[in-house]
């Protein structure tokens, strides 16, 4: 039997990174990132990516490798993650997938149909709609078609809202990717855990993280990335750019950044509440799942 994969999901600021590092060191594992913003290079502050020291102490994959202007899909993530897992296991190591992007993890597990080819006419139609209507309007449309996917997306994330609409509006026969990469198709056992931290504690960690990001140079990072990059829709960057353009005060920036992050954490929790077979556990429970469900020793 192939070595099982431990998946550690959780809301932003819940402590996934620290837990994953501890587990990786204890069980001789390597980490595969499953965060739709930490994939981008040059954005370690705003995405709360693992530090250089952390990445040096435990090998990381799919973290900080993509140009912020480049688009990346859940289908591509599943393919790349499976390749990384295969390389890790070929070296006799264990694979630990860590992140909070629900759609990426659903694709990796094999719980979603993904369209490998796009319908050019549909894409052009949606591009016109995006030019005519603000992103929140399109998000309401998506909510009618796919409420669960809409609940996981920021209404102002125009790219991902339009991409989700493209998938939702595709003809049923065109939406399934036969032979798509997934743990299920590769017959790799896995345990999907969600690090369950009281929301009050998450909120307190978000407040502390907000101040730390601003002190570490989030504004400089946002200015360097710019507003046109695909990655600039990540929580924190629109707020930072608004401040740099003079649209708010520093205190308003601080409040809006913390508020947007809290909302994002709640969307993540809502998403995983609806994911089947997800184990909502504390730190000790994550390790128990690795031992009891995957046989990690």
Please report the pLDDT score of residue 113 as a whole number.
53
**Residue 272 forms part of a structural domain:** no
- The residue range of the domain holding 212 is 201-265
* Total domains present in the chain: 3
Q: What is the pTM of this model?
A: 0.81
pLDDT tens profile 107-149: 999 876 555 455 778 878 888 888 878 888 889 889 888 888 8
Please report the pLDDT score of residue 173 as a whole number.
53
Q: What CATH number should be reported for the domain holding residue 193?
A: 3.40.50.300
Give the chain's residues under pLDDT 70.
Answer: 1-2, 112-118, 171-180
Convert 214-246 into a string of H (helix), E (strand) and C (coil).
Answer: HHHCHHHHHHHHCCCCHHHHCCCHHHHHHHHCC
Please report the pLDDT score of residue 118 as a whole number.
59
Please report the pLDDT score of residue 62 as a whole number.
98
Exposed/middle/buried for residue 246 (C-beta within 10 Å: 0-12, 13-18, 19+): exposed
Residue 138: half-sphere exposure toward Cβ, Cα within 13 Å: 27
Q: Are residues 32 and 147 in the same domain?
A: no
**Residue 270 forms part of a structural domain:** no
E-only strand ranges, the chain = 5-9, 29-33, 60-61, 94-98, 190-195, 279-281
Q: Are residues 99 and 132 in the same domain?
A: no
């Amino acid at each position: 039997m192939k070595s099982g994969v431990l998946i550690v999901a959780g809301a932003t600021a819940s402590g996934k990174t620290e837990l994953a590092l501890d587990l990786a060191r204890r069980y001789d594992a390597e980490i595969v990132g499953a965060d739709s913003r930490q994939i981008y290079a040059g954005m370690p502050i705003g995405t709360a990516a693992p530090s250089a020291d952390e990445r040096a102490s435990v090998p990381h994959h799919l973290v900080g490798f993509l140009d912020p202007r480049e688009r990346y899909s859940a289908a591509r993530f599943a393919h790349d993650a499976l390749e990384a897992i295969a390389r890790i296991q070929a070296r006799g190591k264990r694979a630990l997938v860590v992140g909070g992007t629900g759609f990426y993890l659903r694709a990796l597990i094999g719980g979603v149909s993904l369209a490998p080819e796009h319908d050019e006419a549909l894409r052009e139609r949606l591009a016109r709609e995006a030019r005519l209507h603000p992103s929140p309007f399109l998000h309401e449309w998506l909510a009618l078609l796919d409420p669960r996917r809409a609940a996981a997306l920021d209404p102002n994330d125009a790219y991902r809202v339009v991409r989700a609409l493209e998938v939702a509006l595709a003809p049923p026969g065109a939406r399934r990717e036969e032979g798509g990469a997934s743990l299920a198709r590769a017959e790799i056992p896995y345990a999907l855990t969600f690090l369950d931290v009281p929301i009050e504690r998450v909120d307190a960690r978000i407040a502390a993280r907000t101040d730390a990001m601003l002190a570490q140079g989030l504004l400089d990072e946002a200015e360097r990335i710019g507003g046109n990059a695909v990655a600039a829709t990540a929580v924190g960057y629109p707020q930072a750019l608004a401040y740099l353009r003079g649209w708010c005060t520093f205190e308003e920036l601080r409040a809006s950044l913390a508020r947007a992050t809290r909302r994002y954490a709640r969307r993540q929790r809502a998403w995983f509440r609806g994911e089947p077979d997800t184990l909502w556990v504390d730190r000790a429970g994550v390790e128990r799942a690795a031992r009891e469900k995957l046989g990690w020793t």
